[in-house]
A and B are shown apart, each in its own frame.
Chain A
């Protein structure tokens, strides 16, 4: 079974631009979550999607948005990029069938650099 796939692996943008990151979850997984990882703030939850609906959202500005498609693939978008948005963006998928069997499977991430 293929793991969680994130594309692209690396991305360089300039301030003010927008960016779209993609995540393909493990086949059969219905929940996709996004995290931002930086050396200063660590891992911070962005949002979670389940069956194309946003189920939870972290404390990030409205410039950060996401969506999930009917095949569970997800995208996140960051508009009007700022230098502080430079980070590793991680996507995680899960079955979302209850806590007993629950675990998050993480992708390798997209490293975004904003110049």
Chain B
């Protein structure tokens, strides 16, 4: 079984400041790692994912996350946030190598609020 812990339930930050949303996971098997974002009144959208290879993965809107196997972490970072980044962010894992792609274990979510 897998579990995911998002260390901060809320992160307030000013516009153009850097931000880090922390995620740790626990699993007895290899996992794939994901960050999903949920804007108000919308469904979740995939932000980025790590399957294998380079431990640093990037999204098209400036976010990046680094897989750290020794620390079992997958923290999300952005060097300069915008008001439009205000949303709830979810870290998730799934079992690597399986065929059940729809089964994700999610963290509790981190609400990122960007202030002007």
* B100–A56 CB distance below 8 A: yes
CB distance from B53 to the nearest CB of A (A): 11
* B102–A103 CB distance below 8 A: no
* A32–B106 CB distance below 8 A: no
Would you mind naming 23 contact pairs between A and B with Cβ atoms under 8 Å apart?
Answer: A31-B101, A32-B102, A33-B102, A33-B103, A33-B104, A35-B106, A42-B106, A42-B109, A43-B90, A43-B109, A44-B106, A45-B103, A48-B103, A55-B99, A92-B44, A96-B99, A99-B96, A100-B51, A104-B44, A106-B36, A106-B44, A108-B42, A109-B43
B32, B46, B100: which has the most chain A beta carbons within 10 Å? B100
Q: Mark A21-61, 1 if CB is under 8 A from B, else 0.
A: 00000000001110100000011110010100001101000
Return chain A residues, CB-CB under 8 Å to B109: 42-43
Query: What is the bound-complex CA distance between A56 and B90, given in angstroms?
Result: 21
- Interface residue B108 (Cβ < 8 Å from any Cβ of A): yes
A43, A96, A102: which has the most chain B beta carbons within 10 Å? A43
Interface residues contributed by chain B, number (CB under 8 Å): 24
- Interface residue A81 (Cβ < 8 Å from any Cβ of B): no
Interface residues contributed by chain A, number (CB under 8 Å): 28
Q: A42-B108, A45-B104, A94-B102 are in contact. Are A108 and B43 (CB under 8 A)?
A: yes
Query: What is the bound-complex CA distance between A51 and B46, given in angstroms?
Result: 23
Partner of B103, one of A56, A90, A107: A56
Partner of A48, one of B36, B42, B100: B100
Return chain B residues, CB-CB under 8 Å to A90: 43-44
Query: What is the bound-complex CA distance between A104 and B32, given in angstroms?
Result: 13
- Interface residue A87 (Cβ < 8 Å from any Cβ of B): no
